[in-house]
């Protein structure tokens, strides 16, 4: 075969291959342009509660606007599990971490590890209380003000005097805040006495058992404050089982659909409304500001309101 013909054949074979490789390079560039601008690890307290489902939706909506990728996991009230999740985020070298701590103090070692790795930590709904753990910004409901709203609702409902119990969850900072506001407001009313403050772990089953114990120990109980709606609904089940519906006023915190339905049915007196979706959006907003080099406030508080029924003004 003549040399010139052989060269022509070789070139004919190489040119399509070169074009193919060039085309592959263009596709890679296009894919790179659609890569997330930041990857954020998120560990929620739980994904089973409507509050956290709404908070997650707020995080997702705001993250989409900024082109962020969220790696969302949940501790499900288990701080050891949550610590493992944070460790995985550190291994993946995420750009930021969002925590809703399962235990406000125990999670401190994980936050400190993120600090050491140079990964900024943000908290949503529940703050970190551990010393030496640095959080850029905490975004939450104004829980102290919400606790005061709950107290005012109970005091009004029982006529300014009576015995009150609190179903608590003191491992969680947001609950500590709302109970603090609740107790501060009750202290203004001499006729009101807190006769019990017992843990319910923020779950219906535990709150039900706690409320049963309280009702047996304090047969003249006038009201129960449940620190979230699962606590209030658990208390309602105990009150109904004891045949005391209508005798014990119940006020909850969150205003999830099941609790609102109980309020509209006259079974629960009132509920403090939070805005979890707004908490999620504001958290991502703080991350966006921080990653762009802006100053970020250490705390963002979202106002609460009171729900007393669909037919009432609130």
Question: 70 - beta bridge partners?
Answer: 40
Q: Residue 104: its pLDDT value, please? A: 94
Q: Check residue 35 and report its DSSP letter.
A: S
CB 43 within 8 A of CB 13: no
Q: Residue 310: its pLDDT value, please? A: 81
Q: Check residue 129 and report its DSSP letter.
A: -
Write out the H or E segment, with its range, that includes residue 40: strand 38-44
- Whole-angstrom distance, CA of residue 77 vs CA of residue 276: 18
pLDDT tens for 48-93 read 988 999 999 999 999 999 999 999 999 999 999 999 999 999 999 9
Q: Residue 9: its pLDDT value, please? A: 42
Q: Residue 224: its pLDDT value, please? A: 98
Question: 254 - beta bridge partners?
Answer: 273
Q: Give me the half-sphere count of Cα atoms (radius 13 Å) on the Cβ side of residue 136.
A: 24
Residue 284 three-state SS: helix
Determine how many CB atoms are found less than 10 A away from the CB of residue 161. 12
Q: Residue 313: its pLDDT value, please? A: 42
| Residues of the chain below pLDDT 50 | 1-33, 313-314
Using the CB atoms, write b or e for 167-179: b if 16+ within 10 Å.
Answer: bbbebbbbbbbbb
pLDDT tens for 234-249 read 999 999 999 999 999 9
- Show the domains of the chain with their CATH numbers: 38-141+276-302 (3.40.50.2300), 143-273 (3.40.50.2300)
Question: Which residue, among 180, 76, 183, 83, has the nearest Cα to 130 in the 3D structure?
Answer: 83
Q: How many residues are given for the chain?
A: 314
């Amino acid at each position: 075969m003549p040399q010139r013909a052989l060269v022509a054949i070789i070139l004919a074979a190489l040119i399509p291959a070169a074009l193919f490789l060039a085309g592959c390079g263009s596709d890679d560039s296009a894919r790179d342009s659609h890569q997330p601008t930041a990857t954020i690890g998120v560990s929620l307290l739980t994904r089973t509660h409507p509050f956290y489902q709404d908070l997650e939706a707020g995080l997702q909506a705001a993250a989409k606007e900024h082109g962020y990728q969220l790696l969302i996991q949940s501790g499900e009230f288990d701080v050891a599990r949550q610590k493992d999740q944070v460790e995985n985020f550190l291994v993946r070298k995420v750009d930021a971490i969002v925590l809703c701590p399962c235990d406000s103090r125990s999670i401190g070692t994980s936050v400190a590890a993120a600090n050491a790795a140079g990964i900024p930590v943000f908290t949503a709904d529940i703050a970190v209380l551990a010393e030496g753990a640095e959080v850029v910004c905490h975004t939450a409901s104004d829980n102290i003000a919400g606790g005061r709203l709950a107290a005012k609702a109970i005091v009004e409902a029982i006529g300014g005097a009576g015995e009150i119990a609190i179903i608590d969850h003191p491992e969680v900072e947001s609950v500590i805040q709302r109970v603090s506001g609740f107790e501060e407001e009750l202290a203004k009313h001499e006729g009101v006495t807190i006769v019990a403050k017992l843990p319910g772990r923020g779950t219906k089953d535990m709150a039900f058992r706690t409320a049963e114990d309280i009702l047996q120990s304090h047969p003249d109980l006038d009201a129960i404050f449940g620190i979230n709606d699962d606590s209030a609904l658990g208390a309602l089940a105990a009150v109904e089982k004891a045949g005391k519906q209508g005798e014990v006023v119940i006020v909850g915190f969150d205003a999830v659909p099941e609790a609102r339905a109980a309020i509209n049915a006259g079974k629960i007196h009132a509920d403090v409304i939070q805005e979890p979706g707004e908490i999620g959006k504001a958290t991502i907003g703080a991350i966006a500001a921080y990653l762009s080099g802006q100053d970020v406030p250490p705390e963002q508080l979202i106002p609460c309101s009171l729900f007393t029924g669909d037919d009432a003004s609130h």
